[in-house]
Amino acid sequence: MLKILKYSFYDLMRSRWSYVYFLFYLALGFVLLFLNNDVSKAVITLMNIIIVLVPLIGTIFGVMYYYNSKEFTELLLAQPIKRSSIFLGQYLGVAGSLTLSLVLGLGIPFVLYGLFRSDAIFDFSLLLVVGAFLTLIFTALSFNIALSNENRIKGFGYAVLLWLFLAVIYDGLFLMSLILFEEYPLDTFSLLATMFNPIDLSRTLILLKLDISALLGYTGAVFKSFFGTGLGFFVSLLMLTLWTVIPILRLIYKSKKKDF
Protein backbone atom coordinates (compact mmCIF):
# COMPACT_ATOMS: atom_id res chain seq x y z
CA MET A 1 0.00 0.00 0.00
CA LEU A 2 2.87 2.39 0.81
CA LYS A 3 4.30 2.05 -2.70
CA ILE A 4 0.91 2.84 -4.26
CA LEU A 5 0.47 5.75 -1.86
CA LYS A 6 3.89 7.14 -2.81
CA TYR A 7 3.17 6.71 -6.52
CA SER A 8 -0.21 8.47 -6.26
CA PHE A 9 1.25 11.22 -4.09
CA TYR A 10 4.19 11.94 -6.39
CA ASP A 11 1.99 11.61 -9.46
CA LEU A 12 -0.31 14.33 -8.14
CA MET A 13 2.58 16.49 -6.92
CA ARG A 14 3.92 16.47 -10.48
CA SER A 15 0.53 17.57 -11.76
CA ARG A 16 0.15 21.25 -12.57
CA TRP A 17 -3.21 21.34 -10.79
CA SER A 18 -1.53 20.59 -7.48
CA TYR A 19 0.72 23.61 -8.00
CA VAL A 20 -2.25 25.74 -9.01
CA TYR A 21 -4.04 24.66 -5.82
CA PHE A 22 -0.94 25.45 -3.74
CA LEU A 23 -0.31 28.81 -5.42
CA PHE A 24 -3.96 29.81 -5.02
CA TYR A 25 -3.80 29.43 -1.23
CA LEU A 26 -0.36 31.00 -1.12
CA ALA A 27 -1.60 34.08 -3.00
CA LEU A 28 -4.82 34.15 -0.98
CA GLY A 29 -2.92 34.16 2.31
CA PHE A 30 -0.59 36.99 1.24
CA VAL A 31 -3.46 39.09 -0.17
CA LEU A 32 -5.62 38.75 2.95
CA LEU A 33 -2.76 39.61 5.28
CA PHE A 34 -1.70 42.52 3.07
CA LEU A 35 -5.21 44.01 3.02
CA ASN A 36 -5.91 44.01 6.76
CA ASN A 37 -2.59 43.04 8.40
CA ASP A 38 -4.57 41.30 11.15
CA VAL A 39 -4.16 37.55 11.53
CA SER A 40 -7.44 37.11 13.44
CA LYS A 41 -9.53 38.84 10.76
CA ALA A 42 -7.74 36.90 8.04
CA VAL A 43 -8.64 33.63 9.79
CA ILE A 44 -12.34 34.57 9.77
CA THR A 45 -12.22 35.39 6.06
CA LEU A 46 -10.33 32.17 5.30
CA MET A 47 -12.95 30.15 7.16
CA ASN A 48 -15.68 31.26 4.77
CA ILE A 49 -13.52 30.27 1.80
CA ILE A 50 -12.15 26.98 3.12
CA ILE A 51 -15.51 25.66 4.34
CA VAL A 52 -16.87 25.78 0.78
CA LEU A 53 -13.81 25.46 -1.46
CA VAL A 54 -11.92 22.61 0.23
CA PRO A 55 -14.82 20.10 0.01
CA LEU A 56 -15.38 21.03 -3.65
CA ILE A 57 -11.71 20.57 -4.58
CA GLY A 58 -11.50 17.29 -2.66
CA THR A 59 -14.61 15.99 -4.40
CA ILE A 60 -13.50 16.93 -7.92
CA PHE A 61 -9.90 15.76 -7.50
CA GLY A 62 -11.01 12.44 -6.03
CA VAL A 63 -13.39 11.67 -8.89
CA MET A 64 -10.96 12.88 -11.55
CA TYR A 65 -8.07 10.82 -10.22
CA TYR A 66 -10.13 7.64 -9.96
CA TYR A 67 -11.42 7.81 -13.52
CA ASN A 68 -8.13 9.00 -15.06
CA SER A 69 -6.16 6.20 -13.39
CA LYS A 70 -8.75 3.50 -14.03
CA GLU A 71 -6.66 1.61 -16.61
CA PHE A 72 -3.63 1.65 -14.33
CA THR A 73 -5.82 0.44 -11.47
CA GLU A 74 -7.06 -2.49 -13.55
CA LEU A 75 -3.43 -3.36 -14.31
CA LEU A 76 -2.65 -3.36 -10.59
CA LEU A 77 -5.68 -5.54 -9.91
CA ALA A 78 -4.15 -8.21 -12.14
CA GLN A 79 -1.13 -8.35 -9.84
CA PRO A 80 -0.96 -10.22 -6.51
CA ILE A 81 -1.84 -7.08 -4.55
CA LYS A 82 -4.70 -6.71 -2.11
CA ARG A 83 -7.55 -4.65 -3.50
CA SER A 84 -7.87 -2.68 -0.30
CA SER A 85 -4.19 -1.72 -0.52
CA ILE A 86 -4.63 -0.40 -4.06
CA PHE A 87 -7.62 1.84 -3.43
CA LEU A 88 -6.57 2.89 0.06
CA GLY A 89 -3.13 3.83 -1.25
CA GLN A 90 -4.64 5.88 -4.08
CA TYR A 91 -7.04 7.61 -1.73
CA LEU A 92 -4.33 8.50 0.80
CA GLY A 93 -2.10 9.75 -2.01
CA VAL A 94 -4.79 12.11 -3.33
CA ALA A 95 -5.93 13.30 0.10
CA GLY A 96 -2.35 13.68 1.32
CA SER A 97 -1.24 15.82 -1.63
CA LEU A 98 -4.30 18.09 -1.33
CA THR A 99 -3.79 18.47 2.42
CA LEU A 100 -0.10 19.28 1.96
CA SER A 101 -0.93 21.95 -0.64
CA LEU A 102 -3.50 23.48 1.72
CA VAL A 103 -1.24 23.49 4.79
CA LEU A 104 1.85 24.83 2.99
CA GLY A 105 -0.11 27.30 0.86
CA LEU A 106 -1.72 28.96 3.88
CA GLY A 107 1.03 28.24 6.39
CA ILE A 108 3.89 30.01 4.58
CA PRO A 109 2.33 33.51 4.39
CA PHE A 110 0.96 33.35 7.95
CA VAL A 111 4.30 32.22 9.37
CA LEU A 112 6.08 35.03 7.50
CA TYR A 113 3.58 37.53 8.94
CA GLY A 114 4.41 36.46 12.49
CA LEU A 115 1.87 33.76 13.26
CA PHE A 116 3.95 32.34 16.12
CA ARG A 117 3.93 35.73 17.84
CA SER A 118 0.17 36.13 17.44
CA ASP A 119 -2.66 35.09 19.74
CA ALA A 120 -4.47 33.62 16.73
CA ILE A 121 -2.07 30.70 16.33
CA PHE A 122 -4.49 28.22 17.89
CA ASP A 123 -7.41 29.52 15.79
CA PHE A 124 -5.31 29.20 12.64
CA SER A 125 -4.20 25.70 13.65
CA LEU A 126 -7.84 24.67 14.13
CA LEU A 127 -8.62 26.10 10.68
CA LEU A 128 -5.93 23.90 9.10
CA VAL A 129 -7.11 20.84 11.06
CA VAL A 130 -10.69 21.41 9.90
CA GLY A 131 -9.47 21.91 6.32
CA ALA A 132 -7.53 18.62 6.51
CA PHE A 133 -10.59 16.80 7.84
CA LEU A 134 -12.80 18.18 5.06
CA THR A 135 -10.23 17.12 2.47
CA LEU A 136 -10.08 13.57 3.85
CA ILE A 137 -13.88 13.33 4.15
CA PHE A 138 -14.85 14.58 0.71
CA THR A 139 -12.04 12.77 -1.09
CA ALA A 140 -13.23 9.53 0.52
CA LEU A 141 -16.85 10.28 -0.43
CA SER A 142 -15.84 11.02 -4.03
CA PHE A 143 -13.89 7.75 -4.27
CA ASN A 144 -16.97 5.90 -3.03
CA ILE A 145 -19.16 7.58 -5.63
CA ALA A 146 -16.71 6.89 -8.46
CA LEU A 147 -16.28 3.28 -7.39
CA SER A 148 -20.06 2.81 -7.46
CA ASN A 149 -20.54 4.36 -10.93
CA GLU A 150 -18.78 3.13 -14.06
CA ASN A 151 -20.18 6.04 -16.09
CA ARG A 152 -17.94 9.08 -15.70
CA ILE A 153 -20.70 11.59 -16.30
CA LYS A 154 -22.88 10.04 -13.62
CA GLY A 155 -19.96 9.87 -11.23
CA PHE A 156 -19.09 13.54 -11.70
CA GLY A 157 -22.76 14.49 -11.46
CA TYR A 158 -23.38 12.60 -8.24
CA ALA A 159 -20.17 13.93 -6.67
CA VAL A 160 -20.98 17.57 -7.45
CA LEU A 161 -24.57 17.03 -6.32
CA LEU A 162 -23.31 15.65 -2.99
CA TRP A 163 -21.14 18.73 -2.45
CA LEU A 164 -23.99 21.04 -3.47
CA PHE A 165 -26.38 19.33 -1.08
CA LEU A 166 -24.05 19.47 1.93
CA ALA A 167 -22.74 22.98 1.20
CA VAL A 168 -25.97 24.77 0.18
CA ILE A 169 -29.19 22.76 0.10
CA TYR A 170 -28.75 21.19 3.54
CA ASP A 171 -28.52 24.60 5.20
CA GLY A 172 -31.66 25.75 3.44
CA LEU A 173 -33.63 22.71 4.56
CA PHE A 174 -32.25 23.11 8.08
CA LEU A 175 -33.34 26.75 8.32
CA MET A 176 -36.77 25.97 6.86
CA SER A 177 -37.31 23.25 9.47
CA LEU A 178 -36.35 25.68 12.26
CA ILE A 179 -38.86 28.22 10.97
CA LEU A 180 -41.69 25.72 10.46
CA PHE A 181 -41.28 24.10 13.88
CA GLU A 182 -40.19 27.15 15.89
CA GLU A 183 -42.90 26.49 18.47
CA TYR A 184 -41.26 23.21 19.48
CA PRO A 185 -38.03 22.66 21.44
CA LEU A 186 -35.37 22.21 18.77
CA ASP A 187 -32.18 22.12 20.82
CA THR A 188 -31.45 18.42 20.29
CA PHE A 189 -32.56 18.56 16.66
CA SER A 190 -30.21 21.48 15.96
CA LEU A 191 -27.24 19.67 17.48
CA LEU A 192 -27.93 16.45 15.58
CA ALA A 193 -28.57 18.26 12.30
CA THR A 194 -25.24 20.05 12.64
CA MET A 195 -23.35 16.84 13.40
CA PHE A 196 -24.78 15.08 10.35
CA ASN A 197 -23.21 17.64 8.03
CA PRO A 198 -19.38 17.88 8.19
CA ILE A 199 -19.39 21.33 6.60
CA ASP A 200 -21.81 22.78 9.17
CA LEU A 201 -19.95 21.04 11.98
CA SER A 202 -16.63 22.50 10.83
CA ARG A 203 -18.08 25.99 10.51
CA THR A 204 -19.60 25.77 13.98
CA LEU A 205 -16.33 24.65 15.55
CA ILE A 206 -14.37 27.54 14.05
CA LEU A 207 -16.97 30.19 14.89
CA LEU A 208 -17.13 29.07 18.49
CA LYS A 209 -13.34 28.94 18.79
CA LEU A 210 -13.22 32.53 17.48
CA ASP A 211 -15.89 33.46 20.07
CA ILE A 212 -18.27 34.93 17.48
CA SER A 213 -21.14 32.54 18.07
CA ALA A 214 -23.62 35.37 17.41
CA LEU A 215 -23.01 34.72 13.71
CA LEU A 216 -24.65 31.33 14.16
CA GLY A 217 -28.01 33.06 14.42
CA TYR A 218 -31.01 31.59 16.19
CA THR A 219 -29.26 28.47 17.45
CA GLY A 220 -26.06 30.23 18.52
CA ALA A 221 -26.78 29.90 22.24
CA VAL A 222 -27.55 26.19 21.88
CA PHE A 223 -24.33 25.53 20.01
CA LYS A 224 -22.26 27.55 22.45
CA SER A 225 -23.69 25.71 25.45
CA PHE A 226 -22.59 22.37 23.96
CA PHE A 227 -19.81 22.92 21.43
CA GLY A 228 -18.26 25.65 23.57
CA THR A 229 -17.38 23.17 26.31
CA GLY A 230 -14.43 20.81 26.34
CA LEU A 231 -16.77 17.85 25.92
CA GLY A 232 -18.51 19.48 22.99
CA PHE A 233 -15.19 20.15 21.28
CA PHE A 234 -14.13 16.54 21.80
CA VAL A 235 -17.44 15.18 20.47
CA SER A 236 -17.19 17.44 17.43
CA LEU A 237 -13.70 16.18 16.57
CA LEU A 238 -14.95 12.63 17.14
CA MET A 239 -17.79 13.18 14.67
CA LEU A 240 -15.37 14.55 12.07
CA THR A 241 -13.21 11.47 12.62
CA LEU A 242 -16.24 9.21 12.10
CA TRP A 243 -17.10 11.15 8.93
CA THR A 244 -13.59 10.26 7.74
CA VAL A 245 -13.38 6.65 8.89
CA ILE A 246 -16.82 5.41 7.75
CA PRO A 247 -16.38 6.34 4.05
CA ILE A 248 -12.88 4.79 4.12
CA LEU A 249 -14.28 1.54 5.53
CA ARG A 250 -17.00 1.54 2.87
CA LEU A 251 -14.35 2.17 0.21
CA ILE A 252 -12.44 -0.90 1.37
CA TYR A 253 -15.61 -3.01 1.53
CA LYS A 254 -16.81 -1.83 -1.89
CA SER A 255 -13.42 -2.47 -3.53
CA LYS A 256 -13.43 -6.09 -2.29
CA LYS A 257 -16.94 -6.78 -3.60
CA LYS A 258 -16.79 -4.91 -6.92
CA ASP A 259 -16.44 -6.91 -10.13
CA PHE A 260 -13.96 -5.11 -12.42
pLDDT at 242: 94
For residues 247 and 154, what is the distance between their CA atoms, to the nearest angstrom? 19
pLDDT at 241: 93
pLDDT at 16: 73
Dihedral angle computed from the Cα positions of residues 185, 188, 192 and 195, in that order, rounded to the nearest 10 degrees:
110
3-state SS assignment for residue 79: coil
Q: At what angle do helices 152-164 and 39-68 cross, to 10 degrees?
A: 160
* Closest to 187 (Cα-Cα) out of 239, 222, 236: 222
pTM recorded for the entire structure: 0.89
Q: Give, for all 260 residues of the chain, the pLDDT tens digit.
A: 666 666 666 666 666 777 888 889 899 888 888 887 777 777 778 888 888 899 999 999 899 988 988 887 778 777 777 887 888 888 888 898 899 889 999 888 888 887 777 777 888 888 899 999 999 999 999 999 999 888 889 999 999 999 999 998 988 888 788 778 777 776 777 778 888 899 988 888 877 776 655 555 555 566 666 666 677 778 888 899 999 999 999 998 888 877 66
Residues 6+ apart with CB under 8 A from 51: 130, 134, 167, 199, 202, 203, 206
- DSSP secondary structure of 203-260: HHHHHHHTT-GGGGGGGHHHHHHHHTSHHHHHHHHHHHHHHHHHHHHHHHHHHHH---
Contact 31, 88 (CB under 8 A): no
Residues 6+ apart with CB under 8 A from 256: 83, 84
For residues 135 and 234, what is the distance between their CA atoms, to the nearest angstrom? 20
Question: Residue 119 gets which letter from DSSP?
Answer: T
For residues 149 and 44, what is the distance between their CA atoms, to the nearest angstrom? 38
